[in-house]
A and B are shown apart, each in its own frame.
Chain A
Amino acid sequence: GAVVSQHPSRVICKSGTSVKIECRSLDFQATTMFWYRQFPKQSLMLMATSNEGSKATYEQGVEKDKFLINHASLTLSTLTVTSAHPEDSSFYICSATGVGNQPQHFGDGTRLSIL
């Protein structure tokens, strides 16, 4: 069964709307969560690294005010796309990992479409 749950799986909304995506680790404590963005037929691009209880670390070129990340507990991280525009339409996917050499477990992703 899935060890990481991501919700919602699909969002269609109007330009200017803010959209929140949740990522939950179901049966382990996720000390670190990662948020990726993926365009069609391309690789995953890391947006930010989120550690529980601290501010997220954003990759170069990712607007932290645009993509708000909160990691308030060891099982939940959220990504909020603020005032979304059509260019923010993409596939967003989170992953979570615990301590040690555990692999990253991914959520099923969120397809975001901004009209």
Chain B
Amino acid sequence: AQKITQTQPGMFVQEKEAVTLDCTYDTSDPSYGLFWYKQPSSGEMIFLIYQGSYDQQNATEGRYSLNFQKARKSANLVISASQLGDSAMYFCAMREGNTGKLIFGQGTTLQVKP
């Protein structure tokens, strides 16, 4: 069965510092997609970054980058130059190939300190 694990319930980071949010996954499918979403306290889910299982390079989107280590089955999110507005809950998710369903991790609450 497919599974996503986020082992950090909460993280703190100093403003302007970089932070890594961990995500590991388990699947037997050779083709899968990995996503990170941000959920501020207002509740909306904001898509941040996507990594395909066959992508050779790590995905990057502005201050977000995904450290994809396929052999270790990890897809950690790196946020560089943290801003106060980055304080939110972050979810890692994996897409099932056949159905398109997203399986979410438990989430990590990030707090950026001024």
Do these two chains really belong together in a complex?
Answer: yes
Residues in A lying within 8 Å of B, measured CB to CB: 32, 34, 41-44, 46, 49, 91, 93, 95, 97, 101, 103-109, 111
A44 with B104: CB separation less than 8 A: yes
**Closest chain A CB from B95 CB (angstroms):** 8
Interface size class of B (residues with CB under 8 A): 20 to 34
> In the complex, what residues of B have CB within 8 A of residue A111's CB?
43
B residues near A106, Cβ cutoff 8 Å: 37, 44-47
CA distance A32 to B47 in the complex (A): 17
The answer to the question of B72 belonging to the interface, with a C-beta cut-off of 8 Å to chain A, is: no
Could you tell me if B50 and A93 are in contact, using CB atoms closer than 8 angstroms? Answer: no
Of all chain A residues, the one with the shortest Cβ separation from B33 is A101
| 25 chain-A/chain-B pairs, Cβ below 8 angstroms | A32-B100, A42-B106, A43-B104, A43-B105, A43-B106, A43-B107, A44-B45, A44-B102, A44-B104, A46-B101, A46-B102, A49-B100, A91-B43, A95-B102, A97-B100, A101-B33, A101-B50, A101-B52, A103-B50, A104-B100, A106-B45, A106-B46, A106-B47, A107-B44, A109-B45
A71 CB, nearest partner CB in chain B, Å = 14
Contacts A49-B101, A101-B52 known; list 9 others, CB within 8 Å.
A34-B102, A41-B107, A44-B45, A49-B99, A93-B43, A105-B47, A106-B45, A108-B42, A109-B43
* Chain B 45-94 interface residues, beta-carbon cutoff 8 Å to A: 45-47, 50, 52, 89, 91
A110→B60 CA distance, assembly (Å): 31
> In the complex, A105→B44 CA distance in Å?
10
Is the beta-carbon distance between A103 and B35 smaller than 8 angstroms?
yes
Bound complex: CA A111 to CA B107 (Å): 19
